């Protein structure tokens, strides 16, 4: 346990080993071993991530699993140079996108009030729809990273890539808009950058 608050473990409702695996010892991996990540594990990651809360339960995040060597090679061409090697090395890569037409799923995610879809219908609502979709998909991306940790793997989230190019290659003819790429797997050689400082409680919080 590497938390700076003494006696933090007294506040936890989960055991210290679980808190370490999800938070304190969990790191962003920058290299990966070639140990495969199974389809069952990918499903488990989604099953966990989908349970996190979103506005009206709207769940706008979509996942494009990039698994084959050919698809990872294609994706690497759209990554910033410093992100290419790790994307090629990771056994599984998730392109996270938001569905710009997420409101079409109202009957699924809000069946008792599906008529609320009308609030988001039409071209004139596209901007509002996009901002609600993007915000909530980013929330879900946080749950997704924690889900990767919960199945005992490491995530390497990246924003450094050509999103329009990724959409052209992987999302043509759909309303998915890529916003994050996440490498997934077991860490390889020298996987960590130095741990960077976190803001303390007094800086980041206010009590009224």
Ligand X SMILES: Cc1cc2nc3c(=O)[nH]c(=O)nc-3n(C[C@H](O)[C@H](O)[C@H](O)COP(=O)(O)O)c2cc1C
- Give residues in contact with ligand X (CB under 6 A): 27-28, 80, 82-83, 157-160, 180, 192, 195-196
Q: How far is the CB of 2 from ligand X (least distance, A)?
A: 11
CA-closest candidate to residue 78, choices 93, 100, 91: 93
Neighbours of 33 (CB within 10 A): 15
112 or 198: CB nearest ligand X: 198
| End-to-end alpha carbon distance in the chain | 30
What is the number of the residue whose Cβ is closest to ligand X? 160
Q: Whole-number minimum distance, CB 184 to ligand X, in Å? A: 14
Q: What burial class does residue 183 get, using C-beta atoms within 10 Å of its C-beta: 0-12 exposed, 13-18 middle, 19+ buried?
A: buried
Q: Closest approach of Cβ 202 to ligand X, in Å? A: 21
Question: CA dihedral defined by 81, 161, 22, 203, rounded to 10 degrees?
Answer: 100
CB of 68: closest distance to ligand X in angstroms?
22
Q: Is 102 or 179 the residue whose CB approaches ligand X more closely?
A: 179
Q: Would you say 29 or 42 has its CB closer to ligand X?
A: 29
């Amino acid at each position: 346990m590497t938390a700076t608050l003494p006696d933090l473990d007294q506040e936890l409702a989960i055991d210290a080993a679980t808190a370490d695996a999800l938070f304190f010892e969990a790191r962003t991996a920058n290299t990966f071993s070639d140990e495969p990540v199974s389809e069952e594990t990918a499903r488990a990651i989604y099953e966990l991530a989908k349970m996190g809360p979103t506005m009206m339960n709207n769940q706008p995040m979509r996942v494009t699993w990039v698994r084959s060597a050919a698809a990872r090679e294609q994706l690497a061409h759209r990554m910033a140079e410093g992100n290419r090697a790790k994307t090629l090395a990771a056994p599984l890569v998730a392109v996270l996108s938001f569905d710009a037409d997420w409101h079409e799923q109202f009957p699924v995610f809000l069946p008792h009030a599906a008529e609320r879809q009308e609030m988001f219908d039409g071209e004139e609502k596209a901007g509002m729809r996009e901002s609600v979709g993007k915000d909530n998909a980013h929330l879900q991306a946080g749950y997704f990273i924690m889900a990767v940790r919960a199945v005992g793997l490491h995530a390497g989230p990246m924003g450094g890539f050509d999103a329009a190019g990724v959409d052209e290659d992987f999302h043509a003819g759909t309303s998915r808009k890529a916003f994050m790429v996440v490498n997934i797997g077991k860490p390889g050689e020298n996987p960590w950058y130095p741990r960077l400082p976190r803001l303390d409680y007094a800086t980041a919080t206010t009590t009224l």
